[in-house]
Amino acid sequence: MYKNPIVMISSYPPRLCGIGTFTEEAREFIQKASPQRDVLVISHDDGRGKGVFRLIDMTRHNWWKSVAEKIQELDPYAVHLEHEYGLYEYRNERGIGDNNKGFLMLLEAISNYPIVVEPHTVHGRLRDAEANFIYRLCQRSNVVLLKCHYQKWRLAWMFPGYGWETPRNIMVVPHGARPDRRWGVHEIPGLRKELGLDEIGLADHVVGMIGWIQSNKRWDILLSMWDEIHKEIKRCSGQEWDLLAAGTMRDPDHKDDYEEWKTEVLRLERKGIAHYHEFLPMGDLYYKMMAVCDFMVLPSTDETQSGTLARIIALNKPYITTAPMEGLTAQTLESEGGLLFTTKEMLKEKVIRLACDEELRLKLGENLKHYLDEVVSWEVVTRQYHKAYELARRSKRTGRPVALEPEF
């Protein structure tokens, strides 16, 4: 018997886009949890793959019309939209954007179907235009999924300040993480050999900065101190530790920082205390490169959430990241799996401490294991997605809006 499909709307690989990669992983696990129905994707015109319809052409101001027509044709069980401002911004011949007007028009055009929207950027202090967009998005959706609890309770503080009623159709569903990418200690030598890292003389103990090299990731903070940190770790522990900086540039706008940071890693490499490895951080290779590290450093200065952190959690790797920093700080507090820094001196201290304290690394890793298994595993997250779909369908069936409890 035919079962109506779940239809996701998003960017999609091979586009080098974090939202596209997220959607590919989410789709895999939604499909596993729903074997009785297809999970299809309507993507931008550079998406590829089975069950992927390449219809979103952002050179057209009315790009949303072909998407709405396809939704009518597919007659979905639920529509699950992944939102990021840059993905749906039409710009005219003068470069003036429409503030995602087309995305809101799409929601209106498909209003006969259960609509679940998952916005990937909801800052703790919204600009006026962002606040207005999120409010209008909530009005046009049956269920809105935010990644962190702080995003929901901040809206309950911000919206009344504008004189607006706080939406009640908001669920908190965390960024999913794979439960099937954990390698045992005995498997790490094999991974190092597979990746060619043994050939470059990588030390037995490794601090990792792995992923897309972007200006907001601020690799330079750790690189500028690694000489001194390396000496102090050796003095305190008697062990040899290397810094492994691996990834590549995704956005040409970040080329200057990419080249400068790469040059600095190569300088450290010539001193024999760091290594640079250029690779495309996607798929299994991304996970394997992280897996060979004892712990990770994620010195980002602009994140509401992080696909990099989701991978760190998937591997149960202790980590150090910036605070206060939106979702990075929230997940670090909730998982108790990482350390936080707010100054360069704190980062230096935390890196040395984590390198010299194996017991602490094991404790943080065990905390991340529990957090993954119980909170952010895709297997847990997809159950919450299906709850959202059911709430949206019930709302459509009864004509009553979804009303969920506030955080506080």
Q: List the one residue out of 251, 252, 249 whose CA is nearest residue 280.
A: 249
E strands present in 168-323: 170-172, 205-212, 241-248, 274-278, 295-298, 319-322
Q: List the one residue out of 276, 127, 255, 264 whose CA is nearest residue 200.
A: 276
pLDDT single digits (tens) 328-372: 999 999 999 999 999 999 999 999 999 999 999 999 999 999 999
Q: Quote the percentage of the chain above a pLDDT of 90.
A: 97
pLDDT single digits (tens) 162-190: 999 999 999 999 999 999 999 999 999 99
Mean pLDDT of 92-121: 97
Domain 185-375 in CATH 3.40.50.1110? The answer is no
Mean pLDDT of 21-43: 97
At residue 120's C-alpha, the angle toward residues 301 and 323, to 5°, is 25
Mean pLDDT of 288-307: 93
What pLDDT score does 2 carry? 62
What pLDDT score does 1 carry? 37
Mean pLDDT of 32-56: 97
Q: Could you tell me the pTM of the whole model?
A: 0.95
Tell me, what DSSP letter sits at residue 85?
Answer: G
What pLDDT score does 4 carry? 97
Cα–Cα distance measured from residue 332 to residue 340, given in angstroms and rounded to the nearest whole number: 8
Mean pLDDT of 50-69: 98
Type of residue found at 148: C
- The two three-digit tokens of residue 280, written as one number: 């495309």
Mean pLDDT of 96-111: 97
6-176+378-398 shares its CATH topology with 185-375? yes
> Is 305 a residue whose pLDDT tops 90?
no
Cα–Cα distance measured from residue 335 to residue 312, given in angstroms and rounded to the nearest whole number: 12
CATH architecture label of 6-176+378-398? 3-Layer(aba) Sandwich (3.40)
> What are the residue boundaries of the structural domains of the chain, listed by start?
6-176+378-398, 185-375
Categorize the per-residue pLDDT at 304 as very low, low, confident or very high, splitting at 50, 70 and 90: confident
Please name the residues in contact with 393: beta carbons below 8 A apart, sequence gap of 6 or more. Answer: 77, 78, 114
Please name the residues in contact with 265: beta carbons below 8 A apart, sequence gap of 6 or more. Answer: 219, 223, 243, 245, 274, 275, 276
> Is 47 a residue whose pLDDT tops 50?
yes
> Is 58 a residue whose pLDDT tops 70?
yes
> Is 32 a residue whose pLDDT tops 90?
yes
Cα–Cα distance measured from residue 387 to residue 383, given in angstroms and rounded to the nearest whole number: 6
CB-count burial class (<10 Å; 0-12, 13-18, 19+) for 225: middle
